[in-house]
Homo-oligomer: A and B are copies of this chain.
Amino acid sequence: MSHFTHLECSRPCGAGPFDAHERHHLCRCGAPLLARYDLDRLRGWQRESLKDRESTLWRYRELLPIFPGETPVSLGEGWTPLLPAKRLGASLGLRALLVKDEGPNPTNSFKARGQSTAVTRARALGATTLSVPTAGNAGCALAAYASAAGLEARVFMPRDVKRAFIAECELYGATVELVDGLITDAGRIAAERGGPLGWYDVSTLKEPYRLEGKKTMAFELAEQLQWRWPDWIVYPTGGGTGLIGMWKGFEELESIGWVPRGRRPRMVSVQADGCAPIVRAFEQGADHAELFPNAHTFADGLRVPKAVGDFLMLRAIRESGGTAIAVTDQQMIEAAQRLGRMEGISAAPEGGAALAALDVLVASGQVRADDVVVLFNTGGALKYLQG
């Protein structure tokens, strides 16, 4: 039922195509690999067929990385609500503000999407021990999906991460290793430790399949909005897989004819001013982002000083006519509280950051009263409530 065919380098480096029945991480040139599908054949796929589908991201199975005879590792991820935020929208002078609320996912964040697809493939490829460096939520999600798949999980995260992230990983039976430093240091240590032991590395974009789960956010938006894109997507970006994934999702939906070409939303990358490598590179007109020194922010998910997919993020933001905005911790925390008080939405500081960035876009006149705006709340507040 899936039309998954092979892997391809995200750069025109000449290597590949790569056989998806074998383990692959980065391309020889160092760039992420992307899953490819037989899009021509999928032009015959009817949108109406979705009506009978499961209420998870696996409803889009034709465009997900799964081969015949395989079963998804699923805990009910995806198909999250797109909530009309009328009171909040009115307070900003907006007629159509929507919040894509990723909190009601397994493990309380959007990270469940990527780990459902990644662990599905890892199991199919014969992996037994999965490892991940994480700022927090990706580790919780990996732990849960590894458990659901009967595989072992090793999670490497910064020592000063909020305690709930650690406790949740352990709940699923994962082995947690606390690392001095940030996610980048955790990635180095995980690779050093796991390389010789053959652990399967599930780092963001260093394996090709988390992206595939994340791109379903674009599919869901399209379906929930009756196949019309919003004018803006405001999205908090750490590693940026969500933004890159949605951009890939737009392309795939255009290719199979489900949405018209040339009308994609403007993509807004939101970061913390204490860790804003993409914002800095965007403002400097750079193609890649430098490592952001002394990275710090209350939003663990945004504490990513250097992202493998930086060039893909920057390209998507620019091609979309979007922008990149940094907000302070104080702004994101206030904004997260505003989502709770005005709309009853449980927002992580990352979701608050998106709202704080929208404040800026409205104040500057970039977002106008009649624009349709989708704000991503990438996870719930609970893991942040007790410091």
| Contacting pair B337 A163 (CB below 8 A) | no
Q: Does A8 contact B (CB under 8 A)?
A: no
Given A55-B79, A108-B108: A386 and B147 within 8 A (CB)?
Answer: no
Query: Are the CB atoms of A76 and B104 closer together than 8 Å?
Result: yes
Return the CB mask of A338-375 against B: 1 if under 8 Å, else 0: 00111111100000000000000000000000000000
Q: Are A171 and B346 in contact (CB under 8 A)?
A: yes
Kindly report which residue of chain B lies nearest to residue A107, judged by CB atoms.
Answer: B346
Interface contact B344-A145, CB-CB below 8 Å: yes
A163-B382 Cα distance, complex, nearest whole Å:
11
Smallest CB gap from A75: residue in B: B344
**Contact at A146–B344, with CB atoms within 8 Å?**
yes
Task: Report Cα–Cα, A171/B171, bound state, in Å.
Answer: 25
Q: What number of copies of this chain does the assembly contain?
A: 2
A144 within 8 Å of B by Cβ?
yes
CA distance A143 to B386 in the complex (A): 19
Asked if A344 and B144 sit within 8 Å, CB to CB, the answer is yes
A1 within 8 A of B: no
Indicate whether A96 reaches chain B with its CB closer than 8 angstroms.
no
| Interface presence of A274 (CB below 8 A) | no
> Measured between alpha carbons, how far is A348 from B55 in the docked complex, in Å?
23
- Measured CB to CB, the closest approach of chain B to A105, in angstroms, equals 6
8 Å CB contacts to B: which residues of A177-205? none
Q: Tell me whether A385 and B168 are in contact (CB under 8 A).
A: yes
Of the listed stretches A17-25, A80-88, A210-218, A296-304, chain B binds A80-88
Asked if A164 and B104 make an inter-chain contact with CB atoms under 8 angstroms apart, the answer reads: no
Q: In the docked arrangement, what's the CA distance between A382 and B108, Å?
A: 9
A147 with B341, Cβ < 8 A, contacts A106-B103, A381-B171, A382-B108 known: yes
For residue A380, CB closer than 8 A to chain B, the reply is yes
Complex contact B87–A80 (CB within 8 A): no
Distance (Å) between the CB of A130 and the closest chain B CB? 12
**Could you tell me the distance between the alpha carbons of A150 and B55 in the complex, rounded to whole angstroms?**
29
Question: Could you tell me if B56 and A81 are in contact, using CB atoms closer than 8 angstroms?
Answer: yes
Contact between chains at A147 and B105 (CB < 8 Å): no
Contact between chains at A171 and B386 (CB < 8 Å): no
Q: What CA separation (Å) do A172 and B56 show in the bound complex?
A: 27
Instruction: Tell me whether B385 and A167 are in contact (CB under 8 A).
Output: yes
How far apart are the CA atoms of A172 and B168 in the complex, in Å? 23
CA distance A127 to B343 in the complex (A): 18
A150-173 at interface with B (beta carbon < 8 Å): 150, 163-164, 167-168, 171-173
When distances are taken between beta carbons in the complex, the residues of chain B under 8 Å from A147 are 340-344
CB of A148 within 8 Å of the partner chain: yes
Chain B residues with Cβ below 8 Å from A41 are none
Interface string of A278-290 (1 = CB under 8 A from B): 0000000000000
Cα-based distance from A27 to B385 in the complex (angstroms): 40
Collect the chain B residues with CB atoms within 8 Å of residue A80's CB.
76
Does residue A329 face the partner (Cβ distance < 8 Å to B)?
A: no
Q: How far is the CB of A79 from chain B (nearest CB, A)?
A: 6
CA of A344 to CA of B148, assembled, Å:
5
Is A310 close to B, CB under 8 A? no
Q: What's the least CB distance linking A72 to chain B, in Å?
A: 12
Q: Give me 22 A-to-B residue pairs in the complex whose CB atoms sit less than 8 angstroms apart, sorted by A's number.
A: A51-B52, A75-B344, A75-B345, A76-B83, A104-B104, A104-B105, A104-B106, A108-B108, A143-B344, A146-B344, A147-B342, A147-B343, A148-B345, A163-B385, A164-B385, A167-B385, A167-B386, A168-B346, A171-B337, A171-B385, A172-B340, A382-B383
Besides A104-B104, A144-B340, A382-B383, 11 other A-B contacts (C-beta < 8 A): A76-B81, A106-B344, A108-B108, A108-B380, A144-B344, A144-B346, A147-B341, A148-B344, A171-B341, A172-B346, A380-B382
